[in-house]
Amino acid sequence: MPISRQHAQGTPQGTPRKAPAGMPTRVPPARRPSPQARQADRLPAQKPITDEPLPTAPPKWKRVVKRAFAFLGVLLALALAYVFLLMGEPGEDDQLAAETVTQEESIRVPIAASQVNGDQDISTLAVNFGKPVLMANGSALTLQKATLYDTAFNGGYARRLTLVYAFADGSACTVESIRPTAAVSLLSDKRYRLNVDSLYTVAGLEAVRMDSDAQICLLARGSEAAYALYCPASHTGDLSALIKLMTLMEPSAS
């Protein structure tokens, strides 16, 4: 089917049409509305019709103060809880006291008193005593006798081992071991007065000196037993040499 084409008057056929002079060949890009224009279209916020003041946000310093007080409150609560836990747990002193009480209550049945002469072996008495025994080590003193016996103490018994030595002039020097350690109170005597002029150590244990008109007494207390050394006042000058002879003998059945 033939297609008819129309041409402008005065235009030769087969010639393309031309755009008018000054007409743009490209379409300009569309411009988006600016935000200012959109904000300008919004209505201002309306104030409520009331006499009450408008709510305002609290100042920042108040929030900081509240957080600080909350933090301090938590710390205080933790500190109080820690103190209560410490108060509830037994301390080392309480544990030691409990062990001491247990040791004091361990001697419930007394043993028969026994004695040996100085030329006999005292190992059996030391084993029956059950704890380290204070004794003189050396030939400066001569052992006269050893006695093991029990004494009533705090509803139970205190076990005592007494060794009697003699100086060259015949003066007696007594060494006593006693258990439990609290039974050292049985060795107290009103005739003695405390002497703090010097510090003493007997067999590695700190000792307290007490003097009477006739004797010098050194009291020492270990973890398992208490000990006493009685020296005649006439041998005060020999006290230092006498202390060096003292030693603790561990009980042994062999």
Range list of H helices, the chain: 35-41, 60-88, 92-104, 123-129, 239-245
Whether 89 is in a domain gets the answer: no
79: confidence class by pLDDT, cuts 50, 70, 90: confident
Dist CA 30 CA 124 (whole Å):
120
Predicted local distance difference test score (pLDDT) of residue 232: 95
Whether 168 is in a domain gets the answer: yes
Residue 15 has pLDDT above 80, yes or no: no
Residue 21 has pLDDT above 90, yes or no: no
Domain, as residue range, for 146? 110-249
pLDDT tens digits, 179-237: 999 999 998 888 899 998 888 999 999 999 999 999 999 999 998 999 999 999 999 99
Q: Which of 36-40, 143-147, 245-249 has the lowest mean pLDDT?
A: 36-40
Whether 116 is in a domain gets the answer: yes
Per the prediction, the chain carries an average pLDDT of: 81
Whether 225 is in a domain gets the answer: yes
What is this structure's pTM? Answer: 0.59
The residue that leads in pLDDT, 199 or 106, is 199
Whether 73 is in a domain gets the answer: no
Whether 147 is in a domain gets the answer: yes
Whether 35 is in a domain gets the answer: no
CB of 129 closer than 8 Å to CB of 159? yes
Predicted local distance difference test score (pLDDT) of residue 251: 83
Question: Burial letters for 115-136: b for 16+ Cβ neighbours within 10 Å, e otherwise?
Answer: ebeeeeebeebbeebbbbbbbb
Q: Which of 2-11, 103-112, 241-250 has the lowest mean pLDDT?
A: 2-11
**Structurally, how many domains does the chain consist of?**
1
Distances (CA, A) of 116 to 45, 163, 250: 114, 10, 19
